[in-house]
Each structure stands twice: as C-alpha cells, then as structure tokens.
Structure 1
Amino acid sequence: MRALIVYQLKHYIRSYRYFPPLLLYIVSIVFIYGIVPNPVMESYSLTSAVLFLFSAWLGFSYIDSEHEIQQMIASSHAGNVVKYYLAKIVVGWLLPCLLAVLTTIYPVLLDKFDRQPDAAEFMVAMSGHLTVSLLGFVISVLFTSKWVPKLYMSTGGLLLTMALSIAGQGIERSLPHAWRGLAWLLPPAYKTIAMLSGYEAANGAEIALGLFLPLFYAFLGAVIFLRRMNRRLF
C-alpha cells in the first residue's frame, strides 16, 4: 500500500492538475483576509465554504487523471481495484488536508483577526476545515467519468450538489416542518459552515454534529465509491 501511495503521489505531482485550483484558492484566501481586522469564527466559516468548493475541484480534476491503461497496470500491481482507489483517495485528500491546516493557521500567524482565537476555537476551526475538505473531495470522486461519462453532466451534477450542500440550511428552513427531514439527504457541509458562523451560541451537540456528520457522509460516500468501482472495474 505504501508503494502504491508513493506512486500515486508522484503521478499527481507530475500531472500539475492541482495547479489552477490551488492558485485560485490562494488568491481567494488572500483576498478574504485582505482587509483587517476580521471576526474570528465568521471568517473561518467563510473559508471553510471556500475550501469545500476547492476540495471538490481538486478531487474532480484528479480522480480520472490517469489513462485507463495506466489504471489497469497500477491496480494489477496493487492486487485489487479497491486498494488502488483507496490509495487515490488518500493521495487526493493530502492537498486539501494541507490547505485546511494552512488556512486555519494563516490568519492567526499574520494577525488578521480582531482578536486571537482561544485554543477551543482554533481546534474547532481546524477540525471543521479538515472535515469539509474531506467531504468536498469525496463528493467530487462520485462524479468520476466512469459513472458519468458526459463532462457537462458530471460538471453540472457536481456543481448542483455543492450548491445544495452549502445552501442546505436555507433549504431546510424553507421546507414545511413535516418535510424538513429530507434535508438530511443533502451533504452536510452547511452544518459545519453554520456551526462555525454561530459558534458562540452553539451548544456541544451542535458543534459535534457540525464536525462529525460531514465525516460520516464522507465515509459513506467513500464506501459507496469503492464498492461500485470494485464491481465496475474500469
């Protein structure tokens, strides 16, 4: 598995597919913190939403980056398709994971806030960014060309899913009370974004839900992806 991860990482670095979203993400974060001072948790809420979107872009551009012949050879060396795609998920999430850490640290080190966040705020913000980055990445791989061959359909489906995930809180509130349970079908990035934005008023259950529910959805999405790819092969 280690050799497979190293192989995938080398291929990803040489592909340069990460460069456009990475560059635009850096520009976005610098722009957000271009005017100081900024409120702590509200700013983290905004950057988590931006990271969620760019993690999906990174995943979408990465998951089908190898030629099909290369995929067959690599999966053959790996021993099975599940191990091959699991390594791709691990490698693909490394950059969003790194961005989550840097995005949380950057405004603290450069004094971009109106005050310094305390330890609890910093850890919740860090965890929230890591959570949404994983969720965004996993959502994007579900729109692989193996399942959605038409580019306009995969791109449109991904953009719609991301929009619904961010707007989930507003969608939930707009539904009749009896139908609000349907909002649980949406990827819950909005839970993390809303929790960070309203952190001062959030209770322990709301904080835990905002951090762990997206993780559960990401895990579920990864399991679905791996099981289907194991059946579909290439």
Structure 2
Amino acid sequence: MQGFIRYQVISYIRSLKFIPPLTVFGAWIFVFYAYSGVPVMSSYAVTCLTVYLTMVWIAMSVFSLETSNERNLLLVQLPQQSMYFWGKWLVCLFAAILLTGFAIGYPILIDSFKEAVQPIHLSLAIYAHVILALFGISVGAFFANTSASSQKFAWLSAMLITVVSIAAEGIIEKVGWLQWILLLVPPITRVIGYLGDSMLWLGWDFWVNALWAIGYFVVSLFVVYRMFRRKSK
C-alpha cells in the first residue's frame, strides 16, 4: 500500500494537475485575509466552503489520474483491487489535511482576526473543515471513480452537486418538497450553520447534526466503494 500511495503522489505531482486547484485555493485564502480585523467564525465558515470545493476538484483529479488501460494494469498488479481505491482516498485525505491546516493556521499566524482565537473556535473550525473536506472527497470520488465518470459532463455534474449542497437551505425555503430529494446531497448547512460568531455553544442540536454529517459521510463512502467494486469486476 505504501508503494502505491508513493506512486500516486509522484504521478499526481508530475501530472501538474495539482497546480490549478492549489493556485485558486491559495489565492483565495491570501486575498480573503489581506485585511486584518476579520471575525473568527464567519471567516472560517468561508474557508470551509473553499476547502470543500477544492477537495472536490482534487479528488476528481486524483481518481481520474490514469487512463482506463493504466487503471486496469494497476488493478492487476495490486494484491487486492480495493487497495487502488483506498490508496487514492488516502492521497486525497493527505491533501485535505494540508489544506485544512493552512486554512485554519494561516490567519492565526498573520494575526488577521479581530479577537483572540479561543479553544472553542479551533474545535469548531477543525470539525467543520475536516467534515467538509471529507464531503469534497466523497463527491469527487463518486463522479470520477464510478460509472458516473463515463458521462460527458462528469465535472459539470460534480460542480452542480457542490453548488446545490451549499444552497440547499435556501432552495428548501423556496421549494419545501425538495427537502427529501436534497437529503442525497452533502449536509453542508448542518455543519457550517454553527460557525457564527454569536453561536459559540455545543448544544443537543449540534451533536445531532454532527452525527448526521458523520453518518452521511460513512454511508456515502460505502456507496462509492461498492460502486467501485462493481465497476472493477
């Protein structure tokens, strides 16, 4: 597994596919924190969404790194086909950790916030960034590594899902009956809804929504993995 992960990292770097998402991500973070005195939690809510969108982009690039023939050769050479999926997933997870660390740590290092960062700030920020990064990996993996990847507009479909998931709360307010359909998209608002500067508390509702978000990720990961196994047969 370590050899395959190393191979994936080297291949991804040599492909230069990491440059566009990291450039956009870095530019956005630098511009966003160009001015000091910004609020802590609402700023972290914005960078959460940035990490989410960037991880969708990175995951699709990682999972579509090889052509069909190259993919089949790797599947034959690996002891287990599942190593192909989990190896790529771990590469994406490593990228997510780097992006999350930078998004949370950079404004603290340059003292961009108008108030001191408290443990509750960091706890909620880490939780939200990690969960949204995992959602991004799930969305990217779904559209790049399953039967959906054969569609001509896979990238457009992935972006559509990300936009709908971010705007889900507003959509439900306008068209209430869509709430059941929108259960299929990542519950973004259930996570970032607690990143408000006047809502620094962890009540019962928070833990219910946290369990929902974690449960959604686990189910989505299982679904994507099962679809990968079916496609690999």
User: Structure 2 length as normaliser, TM-score?
Assistant: 0.89
Aligned to 2:192: 193
Q: Distance in 1 between matches of 2:198 and 2:73?
A: 48
Answering whether residue 228 of structure 2 is matched by residue 229 of structure 1, we say yes
Shift of 1:217: 2.1
Q: Is the 8 A contact 1:128 1:211 kept in 2?
A: no
- Cα–Cα, structure 1 residues 116 and 198, in superposed 2: closer, same or farther, change >3 Å? closer
Q: Is the 8 A contact 2:44 2:195 kept in 1?
A: yes
Q: Distance in 2 between matches of 1:43 and 1:209?
A: 24
Answering whether residue 42 of structure 2 is matched by residue 18 of structure 1, we say no
Q: Distance in 2 between matches of 1:228 and 1:81?
A: 13
Q: Distance in 1 between matches of 2:210 and 2:7?
A: 31
Percentage identity across paired residues of the two chains: 23
Alignment coverage as a number of residue pairs: 232
- Cα–Cα, structure 1 residues 42 and 5, in superposed 2: closer, same or farther, change >3 Å? same
Q: Is the 8 A contact 2:143 2:154 kept in 1?
A: yes
Gaps of 5+ in 1: none
Match runs of 1:209-220 below 5 Å:
209-220=208-219
Aligned residues: CA RMSD: 2.2
Q: Distance in 1 between matches of 2:139 and 2:232?
A: 19
User: Structure 1 length as normaliser, TM-score?
Assistant: 0.89
Q: Is the 8 A contact 2:55 2:92 kept in 1?
A: no
SS in 2 for 1:79: coil
Q: Is the 8 A contact 1:104 1:126 kept in 2?
A: yes
Structure 1 range deviating more: 103-112 or 191-200: 191-200
Q: Distance in 2 between matches of 1:37 and 1:130?
A: 25
Q: Distance in 1 between matches of 2:4 and 2:59?
A: 18
Aligned to 1:8: 8
Aligned to 2:78: 78
SS in 1 for 2:57: helix
Aligned to 1:129: 129
Q: Is the 8 A contact 1:33 1:112 kept in 2?
A: yes
- Cα–Cα, structure 1 residues 120 and 8, in superposed 2: closer, same or farther, change >3 Å? same
Aligned to 2:168: 168
- Cα–Cα, structure 1 residues 155 and 141, in superposed 2: closer, same or farther, change >3 Å? same
Aligned to 1:150: 151
SS in 2 for 1:195: coil
Q: Distance in 1 between matches of 2:91 and 2:154?
A: 22
Shift of 1:198: 5.9
Answering whether residue 97 of structure 2 is matched by residue 90 of structure 1, we say no
Structure 1 range deviating more: 103-112 or 89-98: 89-98
Q: Is the 8 A contact 2:140 2:158 kept in 1?
A: yes
- Cα–Cα, structure 1 residues 156 and 96, in superposed 2: closer, same or farther, change >3 Å? same
- One-letter code of the match for 1:192? V
- One-letter code of the match for 2:9? L
